[in-house]
Amino acid sequence: MLSLLFLVFIATPLVLGCLCYFVPKMLGCPKTARYLTIGYGLLVTAAGFFIAFEDMFFTKASARELIEEQGFKLEDEFKLLRNESMSGIGDYYHTFTLQISDNDKQAAILLIKSSDNYKPATSYPDDLPYHQTTDRYFGKKIIRNYETSESYVREYFEPSGRKGYAPTFRQIFIHKIKNEVEFQETD
């Protein structure tokens, strides 16, 4: 596993960088080789910087897009309180918390409560959506809405459509006491 990481993240960019330099130089274009290598180096550095500091590039517009993909509309101004993401080979986890207006909170709660599959706190579901399907790769999309003692929850599960790739599992928690929405995604 470590050798695969070395190959992908270190050896491949180095080999490509050498090719950017030596091929034009052997063809008699040393200035082109230098400029091409510098450009490629800047591109690799920028990509590494973006991967390392991905959370810093997450904006309110990105948060709005992820929330609205789940059917919620944020009409009023909101504040991004927290954002965290982690990734590894084959895994990705992202969570953020928004402070929203009382109007947006009430609209989101109404959307959950008025859904066909809503379960009140007295009949809290103890199984997760991905346990309801036998085929995690090509099964059907599942959306569940329920209430817990602390929040209203919408769970979204979508198979990847490709064997060996993780399905998308998203949860949105609308807190009962605070005007906060928490978004969690696992791929």
* C-alpha–C-alpha distance, residues 129 and 175, integer Å: 21
- Give me the pLDDT at residue 100, please: 94
Q: What is the pLDDT of residues 59-72, one digit of tens each?
A: 888 889 989 888 89
What is the residue-averaged pLDDT of the chain?
82
Q: What is the pLDDT of residues 99-158, one digit of tens each?
A: 999 999 999 999 999 998 888 876 655 555 545 555 666 778 888 899 988 999 999 888
Q: What is the pLDDT of residues 30-52, one digit of tens each?
A: 888 889 888 888 888 888 777 66
3-state SS of 29-97 is: CHHHHHHHHHHHHHHHHHHHHHHHCHHHHCCHHHHHHHHHHCCCCCCCCCEEEEEEEEEECCEEEEEEE
Is pTM, for the whole model, over 0.75? no
- Give me the pLDDT at residue 5, please: 55
